Amino acid sequence: MSPLLASSDDLSLLTPIPLVLHPAAVYLDSLSESSQSTMLVSLNAIARLVTNRQCDAMTLDWAKLRYPHTAAIRTALKKRYSPTTASKMLCGLRRVLKEALSLDLMSASDYAKAVDFPSITGQRKLRGRALSESEITALFQVCRDDPSRQGIRDLALLAI
């Protein structure tokens, strides 16, 4: 476990709280049904990361997160995920912390510090490889040899 990440005892909810007072539940409830499941997966990943797999989104006390936690989360997400996925996850983290602030579970000062980390920028590395000239020629030949509509379509797509 990273020295910046707290033990799960420090970040676990001591007692269950009503969902209307739980920052992650309130945030998830504001999303569409399809977005809820996607973001729940992201929030669970963040909760497991910051507690060494001891908490999930509903058992983590989000209001206890401080800048050292969020900075460590950002660093870990940047290493493990594509820029787009990591940014989405950090957006969810910021929104849950905003709900913690709105629910008076976190001070404005603690909130401002916790979300004061830079966004993740960059592009995903392209996958695959460049085709050799002989491979390209072979693809064209296969399409020319295919008399079906799909063969003609594929030949047109390759020509573009």
The residues, ordered by sequence, that sit 6+ positions from 14 with a Cβ below 8 Å of its Cβ are 61
For residue 61, give its domain range: 8-114
Joined tokens for residue 47: 């909760």
List, for residues 38-80, the tens digit of each pLDDT value.
999 999 999 999 999 999 999 999 999 999 999 999 999 999 9
The kind and range of the H/E element at 108 are helix 108-114
Q: Which amino acid is at 118?
A: P
How does the average pLDDT of the chain come out, rounded?
91
The answer to whether residue 2 is domain-embedded is no
Residue 3 lies in a domain: no
Q: If phi over 0 gives left and psi between -120 and 50 gives alpha, with beta otherwise, what is residue 122?
A: left
What's the pLDDT score for residue 2? Answer: 46
One domain for residues 105 and 33: yes
pTM above 0.75, yes or no: no
**Whether residues 85 and 152 fall in one domain:** no
pLDDT band at 121 (very low <50, low <70, confident <90, very high): confident
Domain count, the chain: 2
Whether residue 43 is found in the same domain as residue 98: yes
Contact 56, 47 (CB under 8 A): yes
Q: Residue range 113-141: average pLDDT?
A: 87
- Helices 67-80/33-50 angle, 10° precision: 110
Q: Would you list the DSSP string of 8-62?
A: HHHHB-SS---GGG-HHHHHHHTS-HHHHHHHHHHHHHHHHHHTTTS--TTTB-G
Q: Verify that 46 and 81 share a domain, yes or no.
A: yes
CA distance 131 to 134: 8
State whether 68 and 98 are in the same domain.
yes
In this predicted structure, what is the pLDDT of residue 10? Answer: 86
Q: What residues have CB less than 8 Å from 93, skipping those under 6 apart?
A: 43, 46, 70, 73
Cβ proximity of 59 and 47 under 8 Å: yes
Do 43 and 87 form a contact (C-beta atoms < 8 A)?
Answer: no
pLDDT at 78: 94
Kindly state whether residues 57 and 84 are assigned to the same domain: yes
Structural domain contains residue 49: yes
More confident residue, 95 or 132: 95
Could you tell me if 108 and 142 lie in one domain? no
For residues 12 and 75, state if they share a domain. yes
Q: Do 146 and 97 fall into the same domain?
A: no
Q: Is residue 5 a contact partner of residue 18, using CB atoms and an 8 Å limit?
A: no
Q: Are residues 108 and 41 in the same domain?
A: yes
